[in-house]
Amino acid sequence: MKRTWAAAALLAVTAAGCGAGSAVSDYGTVIKGGKGQSVPVEVGQGQRFSLTVPDNPSVGDQWSLVEVPDAKVASFISEEHESEGGAPGSNGTGYFVFNAKRQGTTVVKLYNCWRCGTEKTPSAPDSIRESGTATFTVTVK
């Protein structure tokens, strides 16, 4: 009897500690994109999804959400980043997390202003060449 209660308590604590429902631990369906790409996305109503891009802030990647979706179709939850390694310069992924709301189609644009610093537009030739947009056409069914 005590073992059953202890196992149930441990399970409850473990489940609570997983962060279920938080954007950090629940990216939902992950859709990959990148600079210069247009990606179609199909999700169901109420579904959480993430639009992802290769991300490495230590070398100058600076992704931002520049065209938000129609809020009736999909709502923005958060922006998250995960590194593939602990060392400076490690590649990673940027996650832009959304919730599908109602049926319809909307466009989300992410822009990488490469090595722009505090500026919103690239000015140096390298920065202009390496900057770019990832476009996602989101259809909620």
CB distance 26 to 4 below 8 Å: no
**What's the confidence (pLDDT) of residue 107?**
97
> Which run of H or of E encompasses 78?
strand 74-83
pLDDT band at 120 (very low <50, low <70, confident <90, very high): confident
Q: What does the pLDDT average to over 32-58?
A: 96
Q: Say which amino acid occupies 71.
A: A
**Residue 70 per-residue DSSP state:** P
Cα–Cα distance between 28 and 38 in angstroms, integer? 20
pLDDT band at 83 (very low <50, low <70, confident <90, very high): confident
**What's the confidence (pLDDT) of residue 7?**
39
**What's the confidence (pLDDT) of residue 79?**
94
pTM as predicted: 0.79
Q: Which residue has the higher pLDDT, 121 or 33?
A: 33
**What's the confidence (pLDDT) of residue 90?**
77
Cα–Cα distance between 73 and 105 in angstroms, integer? 7
Q: Say which amino acid occupies 78.
A: S
Cα–Cα distance between 12 and 106 in angstroms, integer? 39
Cα–Cα distance between 46 and 74 in angstroms, integer? 9
